[in-house]
Amino acid sequence: MKPNPKNYNPSPDYLRELVEKTGLSQSKVAESIGIPSRTFRDYLNGNHKSKAPYPVQYALESLVD
């Protein structure tokens, strides 16, 4: 898969869907992509100051493929 920022979708629903497809826990996914678990949970709940950046989405998509 090649990164394509045009596919940026920071929706918490989409991110949770990707997590589910990995078969890993949220904390394991966060560890795998190199971000703090708390920050990742905030992205998934829509509680973060900003939306999940595209590299987070891409890393998640890479775990699924």
CATH number of the domain that 59 lies in?
1.10.260.40
Q: What's the pLDDT band for 50 if we cut at 50, 70, 90?
A: confident
Whether residue 58 is contained in a domain is answered as: yes
**pTM for the whole structure:** 0.87
What average pLDDT does the structure give for the chain?
92
Please state the rounded mean pLDDT for residues 60-65: 90
The number of helices, as runs of H, and strands, as runs of E, in the chain is 4, 0
Whether residue 50 is contained in a domain is answered as: yes
Q: What is the per-residue pLDDT across 21-49, written as a single tens digit (0 to 9) for each? A: 999 999 999 999 999 999 999 999 987 67
Whether residue 4 is contained in a domain is answered as: no
Whether residue 3 is contained in a domain is answered as: no
How many domains, the chain? 1
Residue with tokens 């940026």: 8
